[in-house]
Chains A and B, each alone.
Chain A
Amino acid sequence: MPELTKAKEPFRFCTRLHLSELTGLRASTLGQLLKLIREVPGSSIYHHTHRFLQQHQYLSPEPPNDFAYWVASILGEDELGERLASIDTMQYSTIRDLREKIAFTIERYLKDVPLAKLKFARPGEEFHFIKSVSFILPTKYTAGDLREFAEVLKMITLDSIYFHIFEARLRLEKQTNDFSLWIESSLGDKRLADSISGFDPYTSTLEDLRKKIVRIIEGRISK
């Protein structure tokens, strides 16, 4: 078995549990939706662009975006739904930037299709803004090299994988995911780090994501 590089610092796996906080704010039209998207806290934009990933782990591919789902299925604006669903979240490293892109997409559409302003959601089908409150807890698992890392990755909860891949990059504004960060800084393996940060995790289920990362790491170990 080839000798593996020992990490300068072990990787400590954390997990993230969340609570949904209601804002009491709701939108019935695209105009109201746009106004509130500009005003609500960043944790609400984060909630509506990431909720699907954790709540619907078995659906794939599915737009991880409540705004897209609502404008298409409730207001019947399929084209705007498609534009919102296809926003490439990986291109944005902060919630502020992502919020700006979503707002711009709706604003632009309203200019292109002014009649869309007249669409109303029926009572009971309004868009309700919710905030995501995250609780980050360290787990008992650590890894000192790639082999240990792959073994923990196989059994850790999906909440933990979600935290290190999605929340760390966008919500904690680390620019990249925690796994790539550790592999590059503590193991010095930039190529492997890049191969993990190089794919779009938003198009996989969390379980597929786990398998994909394990496969990449095991491929690297066997070389």
Chain B
Amino acid sequence: MAKIEEYVPLVGQSVIDDLRTLGEHLKGRVIQHINSTPVGGGVAEILNRMVPLLVELGVDTKWDVIKGGEQFFEVTKKFHNSLHGRPEAITENDFEIFMHTSEENIRSVNTYGDIVFVHDPQPIALVRRKADNKWLWRCHVDVSNPNERVWNFLMDFIVKYDSAVFSAPSFSRKLPIRQFLISPSIDPLSAKNRELSEEEVNSVLKKYKIERDKPIITQISRFDRLKDPLGVIEVFLQVKKYTGCQLILAGGTAEDDPEGLQVLEEVKEKAKDDPDIHILLLPHSDIEVNALQRASDVIIQKSIREGFGLTVAEALWKGKPVVASNVGGIPLQIKHKYSGLLCHSVEGASFAVKQLLSSPEYARKLGENGREHIKNNYLITRHLRDYMLLFLSLYHPEDVVQL
């Protein structure tokens, strides 16, 4: 795991100095993160990296996990989907199961933190233990169009917190408590984002039998309709009419997702053995994702819906020109024509890809701007800073705080 000083060459000493100063202002406070799982999933991934860094910065940070059985997690999965706006049949029994496990956790989890930082809906009911300490609720889910019944159920708990945190402005609603915008981040020193040697990149290409004889267009995402892999193939076919190029569609394995397997079959069918289309079912390998992104000339993210879309940040961090849909958190990462190209359709995306392939200087400039934008706004160091400011905001209600 990287130490905080290792980020200095990437973000500058002064950024790390600022973090240390903020850490000093939090001396004596215990921050307790609570979520539902120690491994797997985006929340655990980010906490695994952030907790040690916060400790190194002098912030006394702990991490606890609630308990829950299979039934409980089935219900919270349903909640998750319905908050994303997917139709789910939620019954009274589901709410009862949720409350039954929540009450057990309320009895057994010690909420000792000066600041208790609860992540996502699973542990949300713990706020019933609120004493004179401060409580934060971090929503990692896209709630721009939630199932109102589930949202109203959660609202009974949300209003008891001191503040809530969302990842994009469109996820916010009028709330009687303070709410903050904190975007997720990428870790530039992780296996997925660190610099790779040419040999490392080439060995991954060799493994998948990809030659670098034509420009490479890539979309990295699981095989899911919301990521529109069929649309990506259409984009590619339109571009290929005029420019020699190849397409990589790479995503995680989908054994536990019957719909994913079906989508994968449809993708293979649509690709019709075109030798220039590489459909890669990746094992869980961050280095391979990193290498494929680095080997690409253009990265696409043609999602129909997207939470934040960290694959865009990953590509921009590698200085790649990106063509992406104008959905979810993507427009926060790409300003059209400055740090990438935004699109709304297959035609728009293929026009954008053609532009980038035929104007390498323009593509390079967009990639450079994109990298700079990610460096300034979406690295883990900014995330650490925002969290520490968030903790301080609990003790400072004013808009201009003199520390």
Contacts and interface: CB of A to CB of B under 8 A. Distances in A.
Given A24-B173, A25-B174, A56-B335, A131 B400 contact: no
Interface residues of B, number: 42
Interface stretch (A28-36, A134-142, A214-222): A134-142
Given A17-B389, A134-B399, A137-B21, A128 B169 contact: yes
Given A56-B338, A57-B376, A136-B403, A21 B180 contact: yes
Nearest to A133: B399
A124 B327 contact: yes
A144 interface: no
A124 B144 contact: yes
Contact of A131 (B18, B174, B399, B401): B399
B25 to A, nearest CB: 8
Interface in B130-177: 144, 166, 169-170, 172-175
A134 B170 contact: no
Contact of A157 (B18, B178, B390, B393): B18
A153 to B, nearest CB: 13
A59 interface: yes
A124 B331 CA distance: 11
A212 to B, nearest CB: 20
Interface residues of A, number: 39
Nearest to B392: A135
B4 interface: no
Nearest to A58: B372
Contacts of B389: 17-19, 133, 135
B205 to A, nearest CB: 31
A17 B22 contact: yes
B142 to A, nearest CB: 11
B56 interface: no
B179 interface: yes
A43 interface: yes
A129 B351 CA distance: 33
Nearest to A129: B169
Given A22-B180, A22-B181, A73 B403 contact: no
Interface string B7-44: 00000101101100110000000000000000000000
B67 interface: no
Nearest to A127: B169
A68 B300 CA distance: 28
Contacts of A57: 372, 376
22 contacts: A17-B385, A18-B389, A19-B389, A19-B390, A20-B181, A24-B173, A24-B179, A25-B174, A41-B399, A56-B373, A58-B369, A58-B373, A128-B170, A128-B172, A130-B181, A133-B401, A134-B401, A135-B389, A135-B401, A135-B403, A136-B402, A157-B15
List the 6 closest A-B pairs by CB distance, nearest first.
A128-B169, A24-B174, A22-B172, A20-B181, A157-B14, A43-B399
